[in-house]
Amino acid sequence: LVRSLPAAAPCHIPKYDEAACAAVKANWDNANWRARQPGAYQDAAWENGDEPCYVDGPQNVTCQQGLVPYYTAVVLNVEDIQAAVIFAKNNHLRTRIKGVRADTRRKSSGKGSFGIQTIHMKGIAFEDNFIPTACKVPTQKAVTAADAHGVTVVGDGCSSVGAAGGWALGGGHSHLTRLYGLGVDNILQFSVVTADGRARVVNPCQNRDLFWAL
C-alpha cells in the first residue's frame, strides 16, 4: 500500500525534492515510466481534473490531489487483489483499477478514490491445446503472446498498452481486427476477482453470465 500523489508533486512544495523532480521532468513524456507510477497517467488531465499539478508550474504552488487515488495497493498476485477488494468493500471505498496505461474515459482515476495497480502482474503461458476450465469439449488454440510458437496475437498497436484488462474489456480494437475480429472476440477465459473479493474462473462453461458480461 503506497501513498499515491500526482506525478509532478516532487516539483512543488511541500513535497519538493530536487532529484526526484529532475527524474519526473526527464520522464514526463515517457509512457512506460508513467505506467509504473501509481499517481501518473498517460494524460496529465486524467491526474489533475480541475486541480492542476504540472511539472512546469511554479515550485511554490502546492499540488492538490486531483483525480489521483489517495492510496494505491500495488498488487503482485491474485491474493493481493482479493485483500485490496475486500478492504475497499469493508471500508466503503470508491475503487479505481490502473493496469498498464489508462482508460481514455477516465475510469482508472477518480477524486477521493482507492487505487489498485496491477502492472506488476505480468506473465505469459503458452498452451497449445487450451481447454477452458470446466468445459468438456476441446476448443480452438488459444492465441497468446508467443511469436516463437508461430501464432498471431490480436493486440493493441501501442506497446505500452496491456494485452488484458481495460483494452480487452473495452472491445479490444486492433490493427488485426479486420482479419481476426476484436480482442474480446479472441478471449476464451478470464480469471477475475469480483467485488465480493472472490477469485473466479470465467468462461463459456463456468460463470457463463459473467463471461458474456465481460
Strand residues in the chain grouped as ranges (E): 2-3, 71-74, 95-98, 114-117, 190-193, 199-202
pLDDT band at 188 (very low <50, low <70, confident <90, very high): confident
Q: What is the pLDDT of residue 172?
A: 75
% of the chain surpassing 90 pLDDT = 37
Q: Is 199:78 a contact under the CB 8 Å cutoff? A: yes
| Per-residue pLDDT at 146 | 46
CATH topology of domain 147-213: 3.30.465
The CA distance from 8 to 61, in Å, is 11
The string of DSSP letters for 185-200 reads GG---EEEE-TTS-EE
Please tell me the distance from the alpha carbon of residue 172 to that of residue 163, in angstroms, as a whole number.
Answer: 9
Tell me the helix, strand and coil percentages in the chain, rounded to 5: 25, 10, 60
Using CA atoms, how far apart are residues 165 and 190, in angstroms rounded to an integer? 10
From CA 157, how far away is CA 195, in angstroms rounded? Answer: 31
pLDDT digits (tens, 9 = 90+) for 158-178: 655 666 666 677 677 777 777
**Cell numbers at 91, concatenated:** 471500508
DSSP letters, 107-143, are: -S--TT-EEEE-TT-------TT---TT--S--PPP-
Average pLDDT (8-26) is 94
Q: What residues does each domain of the chain span?
A: 2-117, 147-213
Locate 66 and state its grid cell.
486531483
